[in-house]
Amino acid sequence: MILEWIGCTAAALALDCWLGDPRWLPHPVRGIGRAAAWLEPALVSVLGRTYAAGVVFTLLIVGGAAGAAAVLLALASSVSAWLHTAVATLLLYTAFAARDLDVEASGVSKALRGGDLVAARRQLSRIVGRDTEKLPTPEIVRGAVETVAESTLDGCISPLFYAIVGGPVGVIAFKASSTLDSLVGHRDERYERFGWASARLDDVLGLIPARLTRFWFPIAALLCGLRARASWRIAWRDGRCSPSPNAGIPEAAAAGALGVQLGGVNTYQGHAESRPLLGEPLRPLETADIDRAVQLMYTVTALAFLSLSSAALALSHGGFQP
């Protein structure tokens, strides 16, 4: 089983690097989003925007997504082993976002290189939640680098971890949790209680993958000709400073590798919010840092795949079968 999951994961990563996320292809995240949009008002009408409603909401969506994946795999297996492998690979493929992240971040870099700040701000707005209309070049670069670093965890490392540990069903459960965190895991009046369970589940599922990035980012930095020692040191020093228990670790590691400082003031719908400073401003941010962050993302992803696959094979030969 573990060999099949590793093979399917390798194929899924290759598909993601080749195709990205074609909009015409049915995607589980869109289905999860539609299910959440239907279930939320139904639960709120009965239980209100309470913690209990949020727990039920999270369990039903995440459990339903995982259950649907398991049924689909079982049906495919009843037809043929080849179809089971194909369906497993496609499910895993939908969890990865490296190519799309590359395309979107590189679009920001291309616009900046062309001197088109308006286009760069517009492109950045596709991948960040902050206001981008008035950002100067260094802040545009910061937004892109932070997003690439954080999304390396959510769109590459965590899916890899759950692909190896739990196969396609584990990956879909993780993606459902991550999607719910994006939809309802907000600290505002509407979702403070209702979204609590979704946010906390996403935090818990990201704990191990995020901490593994402390090891993979410095090695990737070394391979990319960047600052490996600083990446290691700052990941441990500043990674815990972020409001998120997980997102700050890859951001701090990337900041150390690049020799720049991330964090600062972000504006959301006109309201300024201060984020902890990560890293040391050894030099100003520059457009090339976006491309370096993308290179780090691919290198960290490759390291994670090799490490997790090797560990899973070693454990399986030692008698452990996930």
Ramachandran assignment for 275, one of left (phi > 0), alpha (psi -120 to 50 degrees), beta (any other): beta
- Percent of the chain clearing pLDDT 90 (strictly above): 85
Contacts of 93 (CB under 8 A, 6+ apart): 11, 12, 15, 16
Q: What is the DSSP string of 249-294?
A: HHHHHHHHHHT-EEEEEEEETTEEEEEEEEE--SS---THHHHHHH
Tokens representing 78 are 């009843």
Distance CA 318, CA 26 (A): 39
- Residue carrying structure tokens 């719908």: 269
Please give the sequence-ordered ranges of beta strands (E in DSSP) within the chain, or none if there are none.
261-268, 271-279
The pTM is what?
Answer: 0.93
Q: What is the pLDDT of residues 201-247, one digit of tens each?
A: 999 999 999 999 999 999 999 999 999 999 999 999 999 988 888 99
Tokens representing 65 are 């997504």
Looking at residue 322, its pLDDT comes to: 46
Q: What is the pLDDT of residues 109-161, one digit of tens each?
A: 999 999 999 999 999 999 998 999 999 999 999 999 999 999 999 999 999 99
Q: ∠ CA(163), CA(168), CA(171), 5° rounding?
A: 60
Looking at residue 187, its pLDDT comes to: 78
C-alpha distance from residue 307 to each of 1, 199, 217, 311 (Å) = 18, 28, 13, 6
317 pLDDT above the threshold of 80: no
Distance CA 56, CA 59 (A): 5
Q: What is the pLDDT of residues 3-54, one digit of tens each?
A: 888 999 999 999 999 998 877 777 888 899 999 999 999 999 999 999 999 9
Angle subtended by helix axes 51-79 and 28-47, to nearest 10: 140
Q: ∠ CA(158), CA(159), CA(164), 5° rounding?
A: 100
